[in-house]
Amino acid sequence: MKPQKKILGLFVTALALSANTAQATGWQMPTNPGSLPEDFMGSLGNITTWLLELAAALAVLAIIYAGVVYTASSGDQERVDSAKKSIKYAIMGLAMAGIAYAIVNVIITKILVA
């Protein structure tokens, strides 16, 4: 399978997972599209939550894929190293997404309290 098809498959799966999560959590689009939403900070919070969920889904899929590559490498050191790097970078990306989410939520909280 070509890498482009794998990436497209991962992306489509992540979109489906995030759509299901958005539906389960009751996330809705703003009521007045085309202008600023009435609750801008709430919408910003919803967007950051959705992006974090998307990043988490992509990171999990990347870790699973790298684990399969690692397992199927048959001792090929180049593929083993590539899989280890992929796992490391997926975990680092997930951590950075979590930190960014926390920073945005702290800023939103400080603005709403002020």
Tell me: the pLDDT tens digits for 1-59? Answer: 565 566 666 666 665 655 555 555 565 655 555 555 567 777 777 888 888 889 889 99
* Complete DSSP assignment for 41-95: HHHHHHHHHHHHHHHHHHHHHHHHHHHHHHHTTTT-HHHHHHHHHHHHHHHHHHH
Q: What pTM was estimated for this model as a whole?
A: 0.59
d(Cα 101, Cα 109) in Å, to the nearest integer?
A: 12
> What is the pLDDT at residue 114?
60
> What is the pLDDT at residue 108?
78
Delimit the domains of the chain by residue range: 3-113
d(Cα 71, Cα 36) in Å, to the nearest integer?
A: 49
d(Cα 18, Cα 38) in Å, to the nearest integer?
A: 24
Q: What are phi and psi of 39, to 5 degrees?
A: -110, 80
> What is the pLDDT at residue 81?
93
Summarize the confidence of residues 100-110 as an average pLDDT: 83
d(Cα 18, Cα 114) in Å, to the nearest integer?
A: 32
d(Cα 14, Cα 5) in Å, to the nearest integer?
A: 14
> Within a 13 Å sphere around the CA of 4, how many CA atoms are in the beta-carbon half?
0
> What is the pLDDT at residue 69?
92
